[in-house]
Amino acid sequence: MSRPRWYFSLRSPYSWLAYRDLLDRHPEVLGEVEWIPFWEPDEDFTRLLAETDDELPYVPMSRAKSLYILQDVRRLAAERALRPAWPVDRAPHWEVAHLAYLVAAERDAGPAFVDEAYRARWERGDDLSDPGTVAALGDRIGVDGALLAGAVHDRRIRRRGLDCLRSACADGVFGVPYFVTGHDRYWGVDRVRPFVAALHPSTPAKPETSPEPATRPEQGTRPDPDTKPEPDTGAAVLVAAAAGPDAGHAGGCG
């Protein structure tokens, strides 16, 4: 049987929450699974995927769903004693951070990069599409920031990124977080516990939420509950294409 796989996105708040659940309650699982980055591809990657008849289901996210996700993530984060700082994506280019992860992973710093990237985006509101932001993460994990920031232009790393996206197509990934073990798939932050149970069927389940995470990160700024942040109108969600816009549930959106 192939190694269990975890498809994660640095963009997705639900992927961030799933990571926190694994880190705080099931850290051993993070060492057992293969970490595969997943993101909305740019035009170049989209063209290369089309050449091999690979396609990622992709539809625009409605304003109503975007506003719902703002509320839902705030609720789920509060249950975990986390305070999200909602980022504003003015010019999203998701290859910048996700290809940088591949560079970090080659230097045995992949998990550290993901941890710092999630803190940067979801707890400080930093822009992960900014190469300067990604380069600064290198100082925190001991990897040359110039290498991280330059990954988006590195042909070898881009080929590795293409392999990740093709793997996602082969595994039927349509949203994140997405877990695969054997023939079984698990989609959404609410599927973390069933996935862990599938890996360790004899291990007693731990509580879904706890008042204090085991390793509490630096916190961001809690949004004013009476203020509705302007949603990212250019945002998109990967869902089952056949279901059409707004299909599925927010637990698996990117």
Q: Which residues have a Cβ under 8 Å from the Cβ of 78 and sit 6 or more positions away?
A: none
Burial of 157 (0-12, 13-18, 19+ CB in 10 A): buried
Burial (0-12, 13-18, 19+ Cβ within 10 Å), 250: buried
- pLDDT of res. 204: 64
For residue 251, what pLDDT is reported?
37
Structure tokens at 34: 């293969």
Q: What pLDDT shows up at residue 208? A: 55
Q: What is the mean pLDDT of each run of 10 residues along the chain (254 residues)?
A: 93 98 97 97 96 85 91 97 92 97 98 98 97 97 98 98 97 96 97 97 63 42 40 38 37 45
For residue 214, what pLDDT is reported? 46
What pLDDT, on the 0 to 100 scale, is given for residue 218?
40
User: Do 114 and 101 meet the contact criterion of CB atoms below 8 Å apart?
Assistant: yes
Q: In the prediction, which pLDDT does 219 show?
A: 36
What is the per-residue pLDDT for 60? 75
Domains of the chain: 5-252 (3.40.30.10)
